[in-house]
Amino acid sequence: MSQKISRRDFLKLATAGGATAAVLTGCGPASRYVTREPYVKMPEYTYNGLSTYYATTCRECAAGCGLIVRTMQGRAIKAEGNPANPVNLGKTCARGQATLQGLYNPDRVEAPVKQARQQALAAEAMNWDDATQLVADALNNTNPAEIAFLMGTASDHLFDLVTDLTNAIGAPAPVRFGALSMFESRATLSKAAEKSLGQAGLPYFDLGNADLVISFGANFLETWLSPVAYTRGFAKMRRGNSKKRGYMVHFESQMSQTAAKADEWIPLLPGTEGLVALALGRLVAEATGGSVARVFSTVDVREVSIQSGIPLEQLEHVASLIAEAQAPLAIPGGQALGQTNGLANAEAILALNALADNFGKPGGALLSPLAPNEDTYHRPANAREMKDFIAKLNSGSVKVLFVHGVNPIFELPKALGFADALAAVPTVISFATFPDETALASDYIFPDHHGLEAWGYQRSATGTMQSALSGAQPVVSPMYDTRSTADVLIEAARLAGGKLAEALPFTDEVAFIQSKIASLIGRTDGSFVAPEINSFTSYFQQHGGWWKTAAESAVLSAAGALNKNLNVNAAVFAGEGEFFFVPFVSPTLGEAGANKPWLQELPDPMTTVMWNTWVAINPETAHELNLENDDVVKVISEAGEVEAAVYLYPAIHPGVIAMPFGQGHTAYGRFAMARLLESRLVGLVPRAGEVGDPFPRGANPADVLGAYFNEAGDLAFAGMKVKIEKTGEKQYLSRLESRIGVYGEGLPQEGH
């Protein structure tokens, strides 16, 4: 093949390799943006009535799933999974499907604005020259130590660019955060891997090759780490082996969507997961006749049974399942980690894997490989680091704060006080695509493109054992007067001159990305080989990234996990209330899905509630408290209170109440908010204001979370005690599962 590929050659190439229909890209610097052309001036590869497909990367979470987006006449029509990408192998979750509703959302920041921390999005647009100059001045005229970057978990290329920038001028490294990583307890997983597997990094649990899965709160079929990859693994575990159907046991205080797929859901008291794991380990060791390893030797099984509320026979039964299984696998996650003893819980659960001797083996606990251009695993900040960051903001030592890809006012517990800390920062510049809470509280919003209009790459942190870098390219030309944040920073650095310009000597974002992927040129162990940068970039766009063809797995030793003393202290719960409070990420909304109307209208898989927040309470408990479905209750913790409607949930521990995270926005566009209606069903809660006024849709459980952390610094989000008070109001939840509300059926008579 010639060294340079013309576009026409490229077309042929794309068709020849067309496992996924033709994947087309523009090549070379001349065609960096796809343009919406009128019919009279069609791009040469566009035929009337035929679709063009582009490979890119989903940015709805940080997993880095590959997408193939179908476009027609310059419009994105449908997002599908990229079958070649090893993370998702052609599949997508609901949030990936709905990514177009972000692109075409009617509430986007359409131009740079001087927001000046107003309640509503500023109306008057700035021009980009002034905006870029402003960024240049902010970078140039501020002491580097007083500059801070706060970034989301996607996209990685921008994180790398900002890291280069801050390194060059001696500014603090960018801080990354996301609510998903907070609820995933990534720091705890990484620390537990370091202590048990011997290496820091994200563990990957090879569900697909296990025949028994013991999950401790890990909601891997919902939002956890890489849900599409884990769902694929789950399906393989269940039905991949024609001789034996995989079996699954799930310990969690409420039946989550993941728990619903388990053959046995075993409710337990929050915070006792680690003890249960140790007890199981001891029982298994005794049953198999081996010696009891040191880590399990001190646990009192009877005591664990009492503390966790799991009958002794049930523990013995699960232990016998483990003892008989060929390839048992224990997975720590969710509320097991979001406790003050979360790290010990994780270690105890990993010790079960050590007992099964499955570290680094098929069907066992593996360590996710680093991405191709990654030197070490950069985990996002944990909640304690965010607390320190907020303290730094409060101290006034940050003069300019840049925020990109994250909405901490909404995502962080209110108790951490991020919103108030912003007051101590003289200049806050947001690069938000949507007018979210944090963007509105900024001085300026210089909107970045939507992910489908943008260049980039995302490292797959976990989800595949093939080291993978997923590439992103624009699939449509930008809808509005937005500008890539990478381009803004490159241009600002050029304007500022000096060290800044030296740090980012690129003509544009694509040149920067090329500089980062150039090290892969000529590598023969990957999905394609290309001899020089232009053809490499073309292939990178066409394939949707670069990944190694072979899986790699570090050799891990189980000895460290077994031969140690492990004290799983009782979890400490903050507050006086009578209920354990368990927030969980909404499986359909995720951390940032609330502004996409079709995600709002997807029923929650378990409660089938749409468009709102509920409080899940055991029906028996509710009966004692004289609560019925749709009664509005106040959930009160020592950190705050929220109001939401009751959902009688038959599969939750009587002492626990649960609430989904994802709603309760006070900004973020019309679909994330509700409007006051003259209606029987919605908005019966008396609210001040005129019909049509916006108010938060649902409630944000982060508002009742306190600043408590586990040993690894992750938030003890399931470590609160709350009490509930009936308000006497009703809020009829829209749900798919019943027809309550139709023609007044099932509605209480009074008041109508």
Least distance to another protein from the beta carbon of 641, Å? Answer: 23
Q: What is the DSSP string of 269-294?
A: -TT-HHHHHHHHHHHHHHHTT-PPPH
**C-beta of 170 vs 746, nearer to another protein:** 746
Structure tokens at 125: 């647009």
**Integer Cα distance of 296 and 303 in angstroms:** 14
Query: Which helix H or strand E contains 316, and what residues bound it?
Result: helix 312-324
Query: Residue 114: what are its φ and ψ, rounded to 5°?
Result: -90, 100
**C-beta of 413 vs 587, nearer to another protein:** 587
Query: Pairing state of beta strands 579-585 and 656-661?
Result: parallel
Residue 172: Cβ-neighbour burial (10 angstroms; 0-12, 13-18, 19+)? middle
**C-beta of 72 vs 501, nearer to another protein:** 72
Least distance to another protein from the beta carbon of 48, Å? Answer: 11
Least distance to another protein from the beta carbon of 655, Å? Answer: 11
Beta carbons within 10 angstroms of residue 44's beta carbon: 8
**C-beta of 207 vs 350, nearer to another protein:** 207
Q: Which residues are 646's β-sheet partners?
A: 615
Q: Buried b vs exposed e over 661-695: b needs ≥16 C-beta within 10 Å?
A: bbbbbbbbbebbbbebeeeeebbbeeeeeeeeebe
Give alpha helix (H) positions in 75-223: 94-97, 100-103, 128-141, 156-169, 179-184, 186-192
Distance between terminal CA atoms of the chain?
Answer: 77
**C-beta of 42 vs 423, nearer to another protein:** 42
Beta carbons within 10 angstroms of residue 505's beta carbon: 12
**Integer Cα distance of 673 and 518 in angstroms:** 44
Q: What is the DSSP string of 339-376?
A: STTHHHHHHHHHHHHHHTT-TTSTTSEEEPPPPTT-SS
Least distance to another protein from the beta carbon of 230, Å? Answer: 9
**Integer Cα distance of 349 and 344 in angstroms:** 9
Select from 433, 459, 448, 450 the least CA-distant residue to 379.
459
Query: Pairing state of beta strands 264-266 and 247-251?
Result: parallel
**C-beta of 23 vs 517, nearer to another protein:** 23
Least distance to another protein from the beta carbon of 584, Å? Answer: 15
Least distance to another protein from the beta carbon of 525, Å? Answer: 28
Least distance to another protein from the beta carbon of 127, Å? Answer: 19
**C-beta of 442 vs 600, nearer to another protein:** 600
**C-beta of 650 vs 728, nearer to another protein:** 650
**Integer Cα distance of 221 and 259 in angstroms:** 9
Least distance to another protein from the beta carbon of 78, Å? Answer: 6
Q: Which residues contact 393 (CB under 8 A, 6 or more apart)?
A: 148, 401, 418, 421, 422, 424, 425
Least distance to another protein from the beta carbon of 98, Å? Answer: 5
**Integer Cα distance of 358 and 327 in angstroms:** 8
Least distance to another protein from the beta carbon of 726, Å? Answer: 21
Structure tokens at 625: 């408290």
Least distance to another protein from the beta carbon of 679, Å? Answer: 6
**C-beta of 314 vs 534, nearer to another protein:** 314
Least distance to another protein from the beta carbon of 706, Å? Answer: 28
**C-beta of 132 vs 231, nearer to another protein:** 231
Cβ 90 vs Cβ 415: under 8 Å: no
**C-beta of 59 vs 191, nearer to another protein:** 59
Least distance to another protein from the beta carbon of 198, Å? Answer: 31
**C-beta of 57 vs 105, nearer to another protein:** 105
